[in-house]
Amino acid sequence: MSDEQPIMTQRGPYLVELEPGKYWWCACGRSQSQPFCDGSHGATGFAPVQFEVTEKKKVALCGCRRTGNAPFCDGTHRTLAEG
């Protein structure tokens, strides 16, 4: 098993308003379409997380990639050391 860590693309969450539908959250941090997967995880040990929105709403998607509630922000970014 790899000890590779995902890339933190931003310390706080991505606040996005989404229409009903299925989405894929980037778990590796390599996507150029943050916070959504664009297939950049390729040969990494990471896989995107699929989630579904049933009604139009604003969500907070994790930007630090350390949440315990993927793909949603759980505030873990507040406990991470700078750097």
Mean pLDDT value of segment 27-42 = 96
Q: What is the pLDDT of residue 38?
A: 97
Closest by CA to 52, choosing from 31, 73, 22, is: 22
Report the predicted TM-score, pTM, of the whole model to 2 decimal places.
Answer: 0.91
Q: In the predicted model, is pLDDT for residue 48 greater than 60?
A: yes
Mean pLDDT value of segment 43-59 = 96
Q: Distance between CA atoms of 65 and 53, rounded to whole angstroms?
A: 20
Binned at pLDDT 50, 70 and 90, residue 74 comes out as very high
Q: What is the pLDDT of residue 3?
A: 67
